[in-house]
């Protein structure tokens, strides 16, 4: 009986000690919650950065990250975790209601506190990659060693056992609960850490952490994480969080805003393809009818939306924009300064293509199978965009003069006069002296372009200068052209050799 009472008192004392350890040192006045849900990638990183900036501007002193994620990309994970570790405007909490695995567990290590549902999971953060056979394999030693040092640094910065954090990314690390023979301090160390001590004999191994060991990444439930001092407490709901941190006001939930939703929509591959197609059509119209401006306005709007969304998504930067602008300048030079289609034009197209690829991803040359898959997807989107653009150009070139809007861009002579003779043009003509003159131009006739044809312009046939439209190609001034069709009052021409 006495033994039972003693044990019960011991349990109560232990529970009191745990509660006291979990209780925050101060009350918080303004708490904000941000959800981290799904894949951790560049878009998630940029989204979190925007919300952190908003929380700082709003004066939050408690920042809760509600994490439910299976992990994601390593670089973005370490960037987020490092940013949270160094964040100083608020007390940070990782709240895990279901799971924080792989990269999500590393992000949680960067927070000041970790609170979990009793059955939630944390850990299993070993770096893996896909090989040529699409099988998942353990990352090379160089990556593993670097990641181990990173997670140990995160754990040390927040006062957590470094060995437990390292066991999340090292599948062969065995961790033990140990006791200092001199001070009675208990903690968790690996055998490697014990051996590295100046006096290894001062540590007595009490028991192994069963979740660590050979071929096993450390993965813990909420209850077990608190027991091993990796997490600071249990929370079943957001209300528990509010009570735990003694918030004086309601917890503010930072939901995705209009900009976040708009960026998400613009990141859809179909939307990306549509923006590129419309943008390229706008450029084509602007180049073919310089000075009108509407084509350039449409193209500018489409490509501004494209690069803006990828800036906010974390994949684009100013180098991509500069490459795109340089490509456009090369095309302008090719079309208007050095007509033809040579090295400058090809260079412009290559620069534009490279800029679009770089804006869609964080790399140019893939190094892993995941990056190769992403590159293939990007190229498919751009290839589809190019195909859609050329179909649109073919349609426009055939219907340019008859389309309601584009027909207004084609230069036409005064109605009803289709063409005019040089002697009339050189005389001081009055309105009464201008007679209707039908062009003596037939299909098959050859003339000389008196202006650049983009696709509309003027061509001299003998003594007549006539307005024509090309079959879609740009024809510089002075080239020989031949009439290939006469339809709807329009002469359609094509360049012929000298």
pLDDT tens track for 389-422: 888 888 877 665 444 444 444 444 444 444 444 4
Mean pLDDT calculated for residue range 435-461: 76
Q: What is the pLDDT of residues 282-292, one digit of tens each?
A: 888 887 766 55
Secondary-structure class of domain 411-495 per CATH: mainly beta
pLDDT, position 372: 83
Give the max Cα distance, the chain.
129
Q: What is d(CA 193, CA 175) in angstroms, rounded to the nearest whole number?
A: 10
Q: What is d(CA 161, CA 186) in angstroms, rounded to the nearest whole number?
A: 11
Band (331; pLDDT cuts 50, 70, 90): confident
* Contact of 49 with 15, CB cutoff 8 Å: no
In the sheet where 99-101 sits, what is the strand order? 99-101, 121-123, 219-221
Q: What is the pLDDT of residues 448-459, one digit of tens each?
A: 888 888 777 888
In this structure, which CATH number among 3.40.50.620, 3.90.226.10, 2.170.190.11, 1.10.10.10 belongs to the domain 2-174+209-254? 3.90.226.10
Q: What is the pLDDT of residues 155-205, one digit of tens each?
A: 999 999 999 999 999 988 999 999 998 888 999 999 999 998 888 889 999
pLDDT, position 179: 93
Instruction: Considering only residues 21 and 183, tell me which one the structure prediction assigns the higher pLDDT.
Output: 183
Mean pLDDT calculated for residue range 433-456: 70
pLDDT, position 488: 61
pLDDT, position 62: 94
The answer to whether the Cα torsion of 445, 449, 455, 458 is positive or negative is negative
Highest mean pLDDT pick, 131-135, 418-422, 481-485: 481-485
The answer to whether residue 466 scores a pLDDT higher than 90 is no
Lowest mean pLDDT among 126-140, 334-348, 376-390, 439-453: 126-140
Kindly list the domain boundaries of the chain, sorted by start residue.
2-174+209-254, 269-408, 411-495
Q: How far apart are the first and last CA of the chain?
A: 116
Instruction: Please state, for a pLDDT cut of 70, what percent of the chain lies above it.
Output: 82
pLDDT, position 31: 93
- Concatenated DSSP letters of 394-440: HHHHHHTTTSTTGGGGS--PPSS--EEEHHHHHS---GGG-------
The answer to whether residue 144 scores a pLDDT higher than 50 is yes
Please give the backbone phi and psi of residue 242, each rounded to the nearest 5 degrees, phi first: -65, -40
- Concatenated DSSP letters of 315-343: S--HHHHHHHHHHHHHHHIIIIIS-SSSH
Q: What is d(CA 109, CA 405) in angstroms, rounded to the nearest whole number?
A: 60
Lowest mean pLDDT among 43-47, 139-143, 314-318: 139-143
Mean pLDDT calculated for residue range 122-139: 70
What is the separation of C-alpha 494 from the centre of its chain, rounded to a whole number of angstroms?
44
* Contact of 446 with 492, CB cutoff 8 Å: no
Q: What is the pLDDT of residues 246-278, one digit of tens each?
A: 888 889 999 888 888 888 888 889 999 999 999
Q: What is d(CA 163, CA 170) in angstroms, rounded to the nearest whole number?
A: 10
């Amino acid at each position: 009986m006495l033994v039972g009472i003693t044990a019960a008192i011991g349990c109560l004392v232990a529970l009191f000690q745990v509660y006291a350890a979990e209780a925050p040192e101060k009350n918080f006045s303004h708490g904000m919650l941000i959800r981290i849900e799904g894949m951790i990638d560049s878009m998630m990183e940029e989204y979190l950065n925007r919300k952190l900036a908003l929380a700082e501007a709003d004066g939050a002193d408690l920042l809760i990250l509600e994490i439910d994620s299976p992990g994601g990309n390593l670089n973005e994970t370490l960037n987020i975790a490092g940013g949270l570790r160094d964040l100083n405007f608020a007390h940070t909490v990782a709240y895990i209601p279901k799971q924080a695995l792989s990269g999500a567990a590393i992000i949680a290590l960067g927070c000041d506190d970790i609170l979990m549902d009793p059955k939630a999971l944390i850990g299993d953060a070993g770096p893996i990659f896909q090989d040529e056979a699409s099988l998942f394999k353990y990352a090379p030693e160089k990556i593993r060693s670097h990641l181990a040092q990173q997670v140990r640094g995160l754990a040390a910065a927040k006062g957590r056992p470094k060995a437990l954090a390292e066991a999340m990314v090292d599948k062969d690390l065995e961790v033990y609960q140990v006791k200092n023979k001199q001070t009675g301090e208990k903690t968790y160390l690996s055998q490697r850490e014990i051996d590295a001590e100046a006096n290894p004999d001062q540590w007595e191994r009490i028991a192994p952490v069963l979740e660590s060991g050979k071929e096993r990444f450390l993965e813990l439930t909420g209850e077990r994480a608190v027991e091993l001092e990796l997490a600071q407490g249990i929370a079943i709901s957001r209300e528990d969080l509010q009570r735990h941190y003694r918030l004086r006001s309601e917890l503010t939930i930072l939901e995705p805003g209009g900009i976040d939703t708009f960026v998400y929509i613009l990141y859809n591959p179909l939307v990306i393809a549509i923006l590129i197609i419309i943008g390229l059509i706008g450029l084509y119209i602007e180049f073919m009818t310089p000075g009108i401006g509407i084509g350039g306005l449409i193209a500018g709007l489409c490509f501004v939306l494209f690069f803006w969304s990828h800036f906010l998504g974390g994949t684009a930067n100013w180098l991509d924009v500069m490459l795109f602008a340089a490509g456009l300048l090369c095309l302008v030079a090719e079309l208007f300064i050095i007509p033809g289609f040579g090295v400058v034009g090809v260079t412009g197209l290559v620069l534009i293509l490279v800029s679009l690829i770089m804006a869609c991803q964080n790399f140019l040359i893939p190094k892993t199978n995941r990056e190769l898959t992403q590159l293939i997807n990007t190229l498919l989107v751009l290839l589809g965009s190019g195909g859609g653009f050329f179909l649109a150009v073919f349609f426009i070139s055939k219907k340019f003069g008859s389309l309601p809007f584009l027909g207004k861009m084609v230069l036409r002579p005064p109605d009803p006069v289709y063409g005019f003779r040089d002697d009339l043009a050189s005389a001081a003509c009055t309105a009464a002296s201008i007679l209707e003159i039908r062009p003596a131009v037939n299909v098959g006739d050859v003339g000389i372009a008196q202006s650049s044809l983009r696709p509309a312009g003027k061509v001299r046939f003998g003594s007549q200068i006539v307005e024509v439209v090309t079959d879609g190609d740009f024809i510089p001034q002075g080239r020989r052209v031949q009439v290939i069709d006469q339809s709807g009052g329009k002469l359609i021409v094509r360049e012929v050799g000298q």
